[in-house]
Amino acid sequence: MIIVSAFSFGSISVLTVLTTRAGMPLLTAMAWRYGLAAGLLGASVSSAQLRTIGRQRIVQLMLIGGLGQALITYLSLHALEYISVGPLAFLFYTYPAWVALLAAIRRTDRLTPARIVALVLALAGVTIMVGAPPGKLNPIGVILALASALLYSAYLPALGQVQKGVPALLATFLLITGAAISFVIAALFASELFIPGSIPVWVNILLLAFVSTVIAFSSLIKGLSVLGSVRTAIIATVEPFFTAILGVLVLGNQFSTATLIGGVFIAAAVFLIEWSSTQLTVTA
């Protein structure tokens, strides 16, 4: 289930590129993606379930989805206008390192020697990808990708706190609904909300809604309930590699040596962080 989830999330960048290349604005595509996904997930949510968690928790989850999730999605996918899907995936996956650093600053978790090494590996990987030949990555794309990673590293602890005691599927529905509302409003203000007229565009949007959102979240929830968070996070690191490979196969992107080496450094950092967390748990 976690591999299915990682592959589903990994298809977001490629499907978004295909959609925007066909002339669909990013805001419009995301409004339809989250709107359709919320409708599909809403079929499994009852009013009785909503009443059990209270109005305040509903508003909090929708705000986190509408502000946090929507902004992270927009920043990361907007970066695709400047860099390809491979570097975007690897840059975004520096977020476990930032999570460790922020936790140490807030003193909610220790920054162990293993995690310091992981941070160095992650930053080294970013440096290799950004500055290595045959060509440097567009700095605007790099800033957008890293900004989305940093925002995600702050978003995760906040989400973890708010969704305590709420069924995972119900929390996912509320988050996605909040994101859908934000994208619809943003698209309306930008005068970019319209009904697509092209069948290929509709196919990509439906894939984004069903595969990259509904299947991605539902399979993540099912796998997480069996494996737990540590093993889930380790397995989920296949996502950036799948994104890069899919970009090569579908979009014709070049998978350079610098991207590969930088990605290996970043993947090693993620694995080291999760391994150190496992060791701390066993010791405790």
Alpha-carbon distance values, 140 to 10, 78, 130, 155 (Å): 22, 10, 11, 22
Rounded CA-CA distance 135/187 in Å is 34
> CA 97, 102, 104 angle in degrees (round to 5)?
100
Going residue by residue through the chain, which has 284 residues, state the pLDDT in tens, using 9 for 90 and above: 878 888 888 888 788 888 888 888 888 999 999 999 999 888 888 877 788 887 888 888 888 888 888 888 888 888 878 887 667 777 887 777 777 777 777 776 666 777 678 777 777 777 676 555 445 778 888 899 889 988 887 877 777 677 777 777 788 888 889 989 999 999 999 888 888 888 888 999 999 999 988 888 777 767 766 665 555 666 676 777 677 777 777 777 666 777 778 778 877 877 776 676 666 555 55
Rounded CA-CA distance 31/208 in Å is 11
Residue 91, amino acid: L
Is-contact 250 15, C-beta < 8 A?
no
* DSSP states along 211-258: IIIIIHHHHHHHHHHHH-HHHHHHHHTHHHHHHHHHIIIII-----HH
pTM, entire model: 0.75
Q: Which of 19, 37, 8 is nearest to 202 (CA)?
A: 19
Q: Which of 204, 244, 208, 249 is nearest to 22 (CA)?
A: 204
Task: Return the CA Rg of the chain.
Answer: 19
Boundaries of every domain in the chain: 2-283
